[in-house]
Structure 1
Amino acid sequence: MSGSVDAVTPGIAGGLEVRVVARRGGFVLDAELQVPAGEVVALMGPSGAGKSTLLGVLAGLTAFDEGAVRLHGRTLDDGPGRRTPPSARGVVLLGQDPRLFPHLTALENVAFGLRVRGASKVDADAGAADWLRRVGLHDHGGRRPAKLSGGQQQRVALARALATAPAAILLDEPLTSLDTETAGDVRALLHRQLAETGTTAIVATHDAVDAVALASRLVVLEAGRVTQSGPVRDVLATPATRFAAAVAGLNRVVGRVDAATWRAGGLVLPVTEAAASLVPAGELAAVFGPAEVRIIDTPAGRPAEWAARVVRLEQTPAGVRVRTADPDVAVDLPASRAAGWEPGTTLTLAVDPAAVRFFVV
């Protein structure tokens, strides 16, 4: 992002608009983000990219140096000038830790937010009971957090957050600490309740399943800057960076085009006329799936065959993902096929050129 960030450019009506610079030692968050009212946006990035810092800015918990935050047409912050305290923003931040009050029951935890906002005890308890029903815990209202599972605690936290009808909800890795089955249940609940309430939301996550299941748009944040943004399907289909490609489960290798041939390390591919027209001479990114790569036991010297060095092995639900170097390419195959391989093992790989898509870097 370049230029002045003293104000948010007027754009969407009734949504969340952010354009901020926050400096923390050697790290700089310099990001612009727009979330239309009622939309759910997934925020993804490697560890240390600035996701939690950005959410902290939106929640009013983290100061920033330049820029502004606007929600539903109301300016919440404009740098060192106007600062709206967290309690007056209408924004709820929900993280991995549900942060339930241990001395209160599930019903009392949900009712607490309603009481703070002026509801009578009778109305707050009735509202809390309704929300516990909506999250599938209608018969758990009398239990304290210590008597609830991790997934149940997260459901109570979600009920408490949504019961107050926030203008926006920020979810910071809310499913990370849950097992796969429980996370799937809570994810489905999140999708249903965010859709039913029409709540503007940002979901910071490391899991592409969260983006696919919950969000309509995906924003990729790397080293404090937005590197790609768009509909979830488009970003995952055409990743602009290696991180985005890894999230999408794809290989993305940058190579150079010369005389209708693309080359990256030992991998050489023919370039179609359409791809060559993108960049007649220069860099193109080749994108293809790990399942499209084959191991060749007897090299034949054909095009799209190359020698690769094993860097590491990773477990996948279906077997093993082999990470190789020169260039950096992942290969998916059954676990039995990789028996005996270790870092440094040399393999011959091949990919069908027809399975490769080229994009401008």
Structure 2
Amino acid sequence: MTETTIPRLTSLSHGGGCGCKIAPDVLAGLMRNALPTGPFPDLLVGTQSSDDAAVYRLNDEQALIATTDFFMPIVDDPRDFGRIAATNALSDIYAMGGRPIMALALVGMPLKSLPPETINAILAGGASVCQEAGIPIAGGHSIDSVEPIYGLAVMGLAHPDHIKRNDQAQAGDVLILSKPLGVGVLSAALKKNQLDEAGYQAMIASTTRLNTPGTQLARLDQVHALTDVTGFSLLGHTLEMCRGSQLRAELDYAALPWLEPAPALVRAGFQTGASGRNWNACRAEVSLAAHLPTEAQALLTDPQTSGGLLVACAPEAAGEVMALLQADGCTQAARIGRLVAGTPHIQVS
């Protein structure tokens, strides 16, 4: 196979990144009554709250956090694809307030379409992120598949008292987002060769930044809830927090941070199919102010791959949370709204 015959990674998959996720309303239907229930008193977090990872108490000082995440290519550079997929998988551990300790690789590759060098580069990209996180890839599983798939199963540890769920927010909490939005929009433009180098580098910088502040945020008592914003979009993951905590969210559209040039790209017609699926899943519980720009709906439902942390904290802790995020390099971290008492709903103004 010569270099000129190697296909673009994104051409081999029907979707990319967390935009490959099954729509949240469809997933909820599939999961209903599909999993066994039973008396598992040490299972601190399971499937009941749509949280980021499972948590099992080992003893009074340690809880095991377990998660898995994998998807098809969101970019064509194989090393970047591996880096993004690994960063995204590790995020669920940080979003629970934990510290990752080990990963297993999940690999499905079309061996007739991709040369060994390309596959090696994907694996090397994932390994480089795990090295940055200070953990080994200790094994895994591989198959010959129709579409390229890569991800990790990750295990982490945390003190049982420091687990941060997504359903423990409180009325009056401030909402803070650690990373800019727009990954899905930029990836849609990239797939059509309409994303410039500056936009690509901005996307890579964001999607390969580890959400390590989650471990420190977990130790702050006034941080009440934590999750990461991925394939279900900002609206979808905020709504999960609202439903679990039985609260209403008020989001300030003008405060939302964007990857450049996401808003302009949406106006030019670039968005993913997952955006429409996300809107259909949440529209009954979302109100958009009339003055918002025409691209607001598409941007608010844009699926994020390796997105930022969404933090619900007491107002008096907002300054400390922002300082912690900015010290870790989250330069676009922003205070984006608040949670109030009321029926689960999101108002965007």
- TM-score, structure 1 length as denominator? 0.24
Query: Greater share of strand residues, 1 or 2?
Result: 1
Query: Greater share of helix residues, 1 or 2?
Result: 2
Greater relative contact order (CA < 8 Å, ≥ 6 in sequence): 2
- TM-score, structure 2 length as denominator? 0.25
